[in-house]
Amino acid sequence: MGFWGESIAGRHPAGLAAGDAIPVGVLRGEGVGPEVVGAASEVLVAVCEAAGRNLRLDVGPDPASPSGGLTDEVNEFCRRTFAGGGAIFTGPHGGRWVYEVRKSFDLFCKISPLVPSPEIAPDAAPSWPDRLRGVDVLVVREQAAGVYQGRWSETDVRREGHVAEHSFSYSAREVRRIMETAVALARERRCQLTVVVKRGGVPSISGLWMAVAKEAAEGSGVELRVDDIDYAVYGLIRDPSAYDVVVAPNLFGDVLADAGGLLLGSRGLCFGASFDAGLAAVYQTNHGSAHDLAGSDRANPGAQILAAAAMLRESFALAPEADAIEGALAATWRAGFRTDDLAEAGCETVGTAAFGEQVAQRVQAALRAGRAEPAPPQR
C-alpha cells in the first residue's frame, strides 16, 4: 500500500533530498495540547537524531482567537509552512479553529485510521479479541463543505420566540473529489467501500452522494455499499471487520471516527490527517482538548505520536522513520507502560511526559542498533 495522499488526484509526497531539513510547523493547541504535543515532539526529535535527519520544528502562535476562530497570524503561519514544503503538526483545540483552517486551505479530505493494537488489554476495548483481530478501517471524511461549513443565524421572532437557523449544501464537484479519493484508497486495500448517508432524513444530499459514488466506483472493481449513519455506527462497533474504507459527509465522518475510538480502547489513540489537492496537510489528534486534564500529566499522547508518524510518512516520504515510531509505541505498550486511560493490573501507569520518553528511548535505541521494532499494519 502506498501513501494515503497518493489517492488524491494530483497529490504526492514531496520527499526530501539528502541533508534537507524536515520543516514542521507546530501549533501546541489548548487544554492538554501542549503536553501531548511536547511528548510527541520528543519522539520526533529522537527518531530524526537516530536516523541522521535534520528536523526543523517551528513553533507557531496560539492557534485560536478569543472567540475560538482562526487568527490572521496563525493563518499566515500555516501559509508560510505550506509554501516552504512543510506540514502543520497541531494539538487539540476547540471553537471554530479547525473548521476555519480547513476552509482557508481547502483541506477537503480527512483520513482517520482505526487499527486496534494487540498490545492493549482485552478489557480496554469491546469484544476483544475475536471481533477486533485484523480490523483495519479508514474513515474518509469530506470537510470543506456540509454542516460544519454551512451558514447559520439567530433571530427573535415575536410570535415564536428565539429561532436558530442553519443551512448547508454539497455540490457534485465537492462530493466527486472525496468519492474518487475513497475509491482509489479502496482499490489499494480490499476493494470495499461503504458510503454513509441518511436517506430518509437528508434525502437530496444523500441522493447526490449515492449517485456520485456509483459513478466513481463504476469499472473500478470496488464493491460499493450504502449505510445510513445510525446503522453505520452500530455496524462499525458490532462488526468492524465488515468495513474497509468508509466515506462520509463532514458531520457523519466526524461521528464515525470518534465512535471508532471504542475499537482502539481510548479516544486518546484517535488521530487523523487532513489534505488538500496539493501539498498542504495538517496532522492532529481527533480527541478534544480535555481541559479537565490540562496540567495534570495524565493525558495519553498516543494519538499525537501516531499523528507524528503519519506526518513523516505522508508529507515527507519517510516511511522507515514512521514505521520506527509506530513500532516503538507498540514496544512501549508491550513493556507494560500505560497512561491513566489504559491502566490495567500488572502494568506501570506513567504520566504523559514519561510515556513519551519511553517511546523516544525505544525508537532511538532500535534505530541506532539497526533494528527498528516492526510496525503494526496501519496502511
Q: What is the dihedral of CA 140, 35, 81, 274, to 10 degrees?
A: 0
Q: How many helices (H) and strands (E) does the chain have?
A: 11, 14
Burial 271-291 (b: 16+ CB within 10 A, else e): bbbbbbbebbbbbbbbbebbe
Angle at 362 between CA 360 and CA 368, to 5 degrees: 100
Pick the closest to residue 307 from 14, 26, 18, 20 (CA basis). Answer: 26
Query: Residue 294 — φ and ψ, nearest 5°?
Result: -55, 130
Active site residues: 148, 198, 230, 254, 258
Angle at 147 between CA 281 and CA 255, to 5 degrees: 70
**Cell numbers found for residue 181:** 479519493
For residue 26, the cross-strand partners are 59, 89
Strands 151-157 and 161-167, by their bridges, are antiparallel
Q: Using an 8 Å Cβ cutoff, are 116 and 125 in contact?
A: yes
**Cell numbers found for residue 327:** 513500532
